[in-house]
């Protein structure tokens, strides 16, 4: 790609180009309104060489646009905080709403290539991330996003010239960083890596290489590329991806049929086990924190199955500074206007922390499927997208455990009636609960399919029999403590940041130069 790049004459003289830019810029403004009305979200990714003029180009692109409907996000300097999450999280964080634009001043490409060449991530992890970028871009497309990917290209000689100009002026010399100088020195390695990155990520949304040695040529080509993607989106309407036939390491179960709902525990054993396991969990939380292992616990289950009480027994021994419980209700308008996983990506635990989701992203394949809140393609596709999401988490070293809190319809009825008859519990039971109850067979089938299609080696489902709530609590505690114990022992082999070169060492190295 880069290596084949030729600076072509675009056939315009200077004035003609200027006029054409003006025309295209104005048409971008009217397209902005069309995009707003069609509720299409647009992402414009700008990657490229240091000193290639990304900031300047963004400025030109947005100059006539209505500032209420776009955002600019910059990732030149990711802070330590960002580094405590899976690398894609920061890009999910800034995803635009339907009808809005996002301009990214460097994004997932620089994040991968920069870290790899700075030796912050090893080769294997780099290659894994390239694949994750492809998955990310496909998910964006399948969920209706329009993506334009621009690479601002300048030669080594031109880069040197620009760096020198900045350095020779005492008002601008501070802008030249060690990283800029290092890239200039390592130009060829960067070129090769940029090149192979673009080759590997050219399928879903193709790259557009801009001749950034000329400000006007790159403006012209950028505007053309953006308008083209938008026109295509407006013409064909919002894209809804089909399910893929990608394979995952499925466990093929568990099944609700195999659940033994008579399972029970004696009050004495319960008391003893609760204390033992909670003490153990408290100690493990400490180790998790020190080893910086992130943990995600997912709770799904029938209404009145006992999720809340179960979660409380897990949370009790945890240091409150190191965990969060996220209750998941219907999405807000801002959540509905974005990728359906956005509201979960943005609430992930940072490394060393535990997040307990009280209901989860599996709403997509249960309530949203059954109530028709999304199309069949959407929920059919979600099994794979969710498996990919959880793969990304576990590749980052996250322990992901998923619990289906299980009861039978009779037990539910008893508990509903008990709630209705106890004044201080009445708030817990709503008309909706009764309506959902009528759809038990549909839910049962959806649950079964979910358990089959999303129980993976890396993020397994557990059915927790909860007719005896005490039994359920002990069983969950047992599974959690077992998994954390394993993680504490094993974490060296996982893709944890802590096993790579730390950013502190990086600073040291770059100072040495």
325 in contact with its own copies (CB under 8 A): yes
Q: Which is nearer to its own copies, 295 or 311 (CB)?
A: 311
Q: Under 8 Å CB-to-CB from 20, ≥6 apart: which residues? A: 12, 220
- The only residue of 6, 68, 123, 511 in contact with its own copies, by rule CB under 8 A: 68
Which residue number, 33 or 264, has a Cβ lying nearer to its own copies?
33
Cα(255)–Cα(262) distance, rounded to whole angstroms?
16
Chain positions 294 to 323 lying near its own copies, rule: CB under 8 A, are 308, 311-312, 315-321
Task: Using CB under 8 A, count the residues that bind its own copies.
Answer: 48
Could you give the 3-state DSSP secondary structure of residue 208?
A: strand
Give the tokens for residue 267.
């009050």
Residue matched to tokens 């700008």: 46
Binding string to its own copies for residues 410 to 449, with x set by CB under 8 A, is what? --------------x--x----------------------
Give whichever of 3 and 29 is closer to its own copies, judged by the CB atom: 29
**Which residues, 6+ apart, have CB-to-CB distance to 273 below 8 Å?**
265, 474, 477
Does 59 engage in binding with its own copies (CB under 8 A)? yes
Q: Is 76 in the site for its own copies (CB under 8 A)?
A: yes
Q: What is the number of residues in the chain?
A: 513
With vertex at residue 405, the alpha carbon angle to CA 403 and CA 411, rounded to the nearest 5 degrees, is 175
Rounded to whole angstroms, how far apart are CA atoms 243 and 384?
Answer: 7
- Using CB under 8 A as the binding rule, whether residue 37 contacts its own copies is answered as yes
Does 62 bind its own copies (CB under 8 A)? Our answer is yes
Where do runs of H (alpha helix) occur along 51-177?
54-62, 89-93, 108-117, 123-142, 156-168
Nearer Cβ to its own copies, position 55 or 372?
Answer: 55
Q: Which is nearer to its own copies, 27 or 196 (CB)?
A: 27
- Pairing between β-strand 295-301 and β-strand 354-358 as defined by DSSP bridges: parallel
Partnered with residue 45 across adjacent β-strands are: 104, 149
- With CB under 8 A as the contact rule, the residue among 13, 171, 236, 262 that binds its own copies is 171
Q: How far is the CB of 270 from its own copies (least distance, A)?
A: 17
Q: Which residues have CB under 8 Å from 144's CB, separation 6+?
A: 40, 41, 98, 238, 239, 240
Q: Which residue has the tokens 């309104």?
A: 33
Give the integer Cα–Cα distance in Å for 253 and 452.
5
Least Å from the CB of residue 262 to its own copies: 29
Count of CB atoms situated within 10 Å of the CB of 169: 10
Interacting residues with its own copies between 353 and 392 (CB under 8 A) = 356, 358
Of 249, 334, 372, 409, which lies in the binding site for its own copies, with binding defined by CB under 8 A?
Answer: 334
Q: Considering only residues 13, 14, 67, 493, which one is a binding residue for its own copies as defined by CB under 8 A?
A: 67
Nearer to its own copies, 74 or 442 (CB): 74
Q: Which residues are near its own copies by CB under 8 A? A: 30, 33, 36-37, 55, 58-59, 62-69, 71-72, 74, 76, 79-81, 103, 105, 171, 174, 286, 290, 308, 311-312, 315-321, 324-325, 327, 332-334, 356, 358, 424, 427
């Amino acid at each position: 790609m880069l290596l084949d790049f030729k600076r072509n004459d675009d056939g315009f003289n200077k004035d003609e180009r200027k006029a054409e830019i003006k025309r295209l810029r104005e048409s971008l403004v009217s397209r902005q309104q069309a995009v707003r009305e069609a509720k299409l979200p647009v992402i414009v990714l700008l990657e490229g060489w240091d000193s290639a003029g990304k900031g300047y180009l963004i400025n030109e692109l947005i100059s006539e646009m209505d500032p209420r409907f776009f955002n600019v996000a910059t990732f030149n300097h990711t802070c330590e905080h960002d580094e405590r999450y899976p690398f894609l999280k920061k890009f999910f964080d800034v995803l635009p709403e339907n009808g809005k634009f996002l301009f990214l001043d460097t994004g997932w490409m620089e994040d991968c290539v920069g870290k790899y060449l700075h030796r912050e991530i090893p080769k294997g992890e780099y290659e894994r991330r390239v694949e994750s970028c492809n998955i990310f871009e496909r998910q964006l497309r399948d969920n209706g996003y329009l993506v334009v990917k621009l690479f601002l290209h300048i030669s080594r000689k031109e880069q040197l010239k620009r760096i020198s100009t900045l350095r020779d002026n005492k008002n601008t010399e501070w802008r030249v960083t060690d990283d800029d100088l290092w890239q200039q020195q390592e130009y060829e390695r960067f070129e090769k890596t940029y090149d192979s990155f673009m080759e590997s990520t050219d399928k879903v949304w193709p790259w557009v290489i801009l001749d950034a040695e000329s400000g006007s040529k790159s403006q012209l080509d950028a505007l053309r590329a953006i308008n083209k993607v938008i026109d295509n989106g407006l013409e064909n309407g919002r894209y809804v991806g089909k399910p893929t036939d990608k394979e995952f390491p499925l466990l093929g179960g568990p099944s609700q049929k195999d659940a033994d709902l008579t399972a029970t525990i004696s009050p004495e054993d319960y008391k003893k086990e609760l204390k033992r396991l909670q003490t153990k969990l408290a100690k493990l939380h400490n180790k998790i924190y020190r080893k910086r292992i992130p943990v995600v616990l997912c709770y799904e289950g029938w209404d009145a199955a006992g999720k809340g009480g179960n979660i409380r027994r897990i949370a009790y021994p945890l240091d409150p500074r190191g965990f969060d419980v996220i209750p998941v209700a219907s999405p807000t308008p801002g959540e509905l206007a974005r990728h359906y996983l956005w509201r979960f990506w943005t609430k992930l635990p940072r490394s060393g922390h535990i997040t307990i989701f009280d209901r989860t992203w599996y709403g997509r394949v249960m309530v949203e499927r059954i109530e028709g809140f999304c199309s069949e393609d959407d929920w059919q596709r979600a099994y794979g997208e969710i498996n990919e999401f959880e793969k990304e988490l576990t590749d980052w070293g996250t322990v992901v455990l998923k619990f289906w809190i299980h009861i039978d319809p009779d037990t539910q009825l008893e508990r509903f009636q008990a709630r209705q008859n106890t004044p201080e519990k009445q708030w817990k039971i709503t008309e909706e609960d009764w309506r959902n109850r009528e759809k038990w067979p549909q839910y049962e089938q959806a649950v079964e399919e979910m358990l089959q299609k999303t129980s993976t080696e890396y993020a397994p489902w557990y059915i927790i029999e909860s007719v005896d709530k005490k039994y359920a609590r002990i069983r969950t505690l047992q599974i959690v403590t077992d998994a954390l114990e394993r993680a504490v022992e094993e974490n060296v082999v996982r893709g944890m940041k802590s096993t790579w070169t730390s950013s502190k060492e990086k600073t040291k190295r770059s100072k040495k130069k």
